[in-house]
Structure 1
Amino acid sequence: MLYKYLDPDRINILESGLIRFTQPSDFNDPFEFKPVASTLASKAEIDKYVDQYMDEILQVELKKYPLEVRTLIPLKQLKLITRQLYSQNLPEIEKKLVEMGSATTQLFSDKSNELIGVLSLTENNSNLLMWSHYARSHKGFCVGFDKKSDFFNQTRSRKDEFYHLRKVEYCKDRPISRLTQLSGVELLLIKSEAWQYEQEWRMCAALTDSSSSFTTDENPLPIHLFEFPKTAVKEIILGACISQDNKDKLLGIIKTNEEYNHVAVKQAIISSKQFKLEFIDL
């Protein structure tokens, strides 16, 4: 199972079957979806491109001139001059590619907030810090999802970056690569080692596929909700400090909804001897 810690205000997700996929800029890590590209492409990649396409490019450009102009210089000599110019201007070309790499990664970071939503889950249902940070100081609840549910396995192709669960990777340093070498992992799944305690898994989705969206006065970004099957819910844990009112609401939803008949319901309690949580069945 994988778990989602939730604020008590979000009890309604169990009724609606809708859960938020969050934009990167709404995360609490300022490094989210901010890859570092050393350059757009390497010299070897540029050389390969020149070798592969120079003839084609020259032919296209030559056709723009009258026939009498095209015959003034043999094609072989034109290729030689072009290569000389390429070599002479390579330092400036490489400088521009570095600038383009930086600009492109910034564009990705900006546009990801308009296009990509992320559902974050965790392997750990008893982390004291996560209960505090994401479940309003243990007043909320935690939902355990079946990671084998079809909902979490909607891969459309072998290289698909969306609609399936993947484990976040934690690194000491930010990965720096050529833009052509940046992988989906480096773009979407790399975080600092400082977050390793979260043991996070992610599923990314296109925000245009959301079931509904709305705006609030408190949040400048639209809230995008995606429908999930209630059969994917396997466990619900009530926070150690949950109010009696919210506890009654949660239990009422679970008991009156036949689709949750299979769900195990537990109460988190504070251990009397250790800094840990214990769970009892309800």
Structure 2
Amino acid sequence: MSHEEDIQRFDQDHPWPHDDGVTSLFKFSSVNRDKISRLEQLFCEGKLYHSTPDQFNDPFECKPHFNWPKDPKKVAEIRKYLTQILRRNGISWKEAKRLVANSMRRPGFIHESIYTSAEHSFNRARICSFTTSNKNLLFWAHYANSHKGFCVEYDAKILPISYSFKVKYVDEYPEIEYPAPDDKRALSPALMKSTAWSYEEEYRSIFIPGAERQAKHDGSSLILNGSEMKNIYFGAKMTDDDKALIEDLVNKGPFTAKLWESNLSRTSFEIEFSPYKPVIS
């Protein structure tokens, strides 16, 4: 497959929201009074926190496997790449070739080294997950503390939210490509999950601290410009105090998001929304 065809396949597997007809992305959260700073960073400072893979609830996150290639051309490519790495670290060409040749006689050693290196790289990735609906009952239960939390609607047409990638759900365990492509294709293992998670309809915003050509961030959070947040939906069991807290924080920040109440339908298993009306004491 050519480089252009490979890029095209990636774009088909992991389209941006606009290319998939998605105009809004939603993120569900709980209200933790012991971590008010995280809410302040989001609503007051416009900092969207991105987790590391070890903070996710799926233990298979960003842990692709590596198979030693059978194609001699691919083996030769790996040999050349490893030699270049040693050269960049100040080792002479002759010595680099000798070290790589000795290592190649122990493919198990190279295999494990490549896997460990890739795992370290993916563990550095910062990821924020979104979904395509604010009415998903499982999301309200799992990620919004049994409807006691809230859901934020982001404009998927505006940067940097518009650069979120769609997750592909597969039965095959993701595999490392080595050497990794020097473009967005290198993110593929972080954008593949088991079909068991397909109900989440997930999109992911990803950045890697220290890498080039990325949206503005502070190492753990993506910096928003103030126009991305469209609506905030309060959970059906959210306390009045927590609603007032979010309202106060939003009023202090750069966003002009509308606030909504969530109500349980009396005739179906659905969530209904109405404009938020503060409780006046």
What TM-score does the superposition give when structure 2 sets the normalisation length? 0.68
Q: Provide the residue aligned with 2:21 in structure 1.
A: none
Distance of 2:78 and 2:67 partners within structure 1: 19
- Given the alignment, which residue of 219, 223, 226 partners 2:222? 226
1:173 shift after superposition = 2.2
Q: Could you tell me which of 19, 22, 29 is aligned with 1:6?
A: 29
- SS of equivalent to 2:63: coil
**RMSD value over aligned CA atoms?**
3.0
- What is the distance in 2 between the residues matched to 1:203 and 1:49? 30
Decide whether aligned partners of structure 1 residues 47 and 25 sit closer, same or farther in structure 2, where only a CA change above 3 A counts: closer
Counterpart position of 1:39: 68
Whole-angstrom CA distance in 2 between matches of 1:252 and 1:207: 32
Q: Deviations over 1:215-271 (max 9, x none)?
A: xxxxxxxxx2332122110111111110010112223344x358433x232211111
* CA pair 149-129 structure 1, distance change in 2 beyond 3 A: same
Alignment of 1:49-128 (within 5 A): 93=104, 96-97=106-107, 99-113=109-123, 115-128=124-137
Q: Which residue does 1:211 correspond to in 2?
A: 218
C-alpha displacement of 1:21? 1.0
Shift in CA distance, 250/37, structure 1 to aligned 2, threshold 3 Å: same
Q: What is the CA distance between 1:135 and its match in structure 2?
A: 1.2
Which consecutive residues of structure 1, in runs of 5 or more, have no partner in the other structure?
Answer: 52-59, 62-85, 154-163, 213-223
Matched position secondary structure for 1:145: strand
Q: In 2, are the aligned partners of 1:146 and 1:233 still within 8 Å (CA)?
A: yes
Q: Which runs of 5+ in 2 are unaligned?
A: 1-23, 33-37, 81-92, 95-100, 211-215, 277-281
* Residue identity (%): 26
Equivalent pairs counted in the alignment come to 221
Q: How many Å separate the matches in 2 of 1:185 and 1:211? A: 20
Are the counterparts in 2 of residues 40 and 101 from structure 1 also a CA contact under 8 Å? no
What is the aligned partner in structure 2 of residue 80 from structure 1? none
- Equivalence map 1:112-151=2 (5 Å): 112-113=122-123, 115-151=124-160
Matches for 1:179-198 after TM superposition, within 5 Å:
179-180=178-179, 183-198=185-200
Hey, what does 2:266 align to over in structure 1?
Answer: 272
Deviation at 1:178, TM superposition (A): 5.3
Q: Specify the SS of the correspondent of 1:235.
A: strand
Q: Distance in 1 between matches of 2:229 and 2:188?
A: 30
Calculate the TM-score normalised by the size of structure 1. Answer: 0.68
Give the Å deviation of 1:49. Answer: 8.2
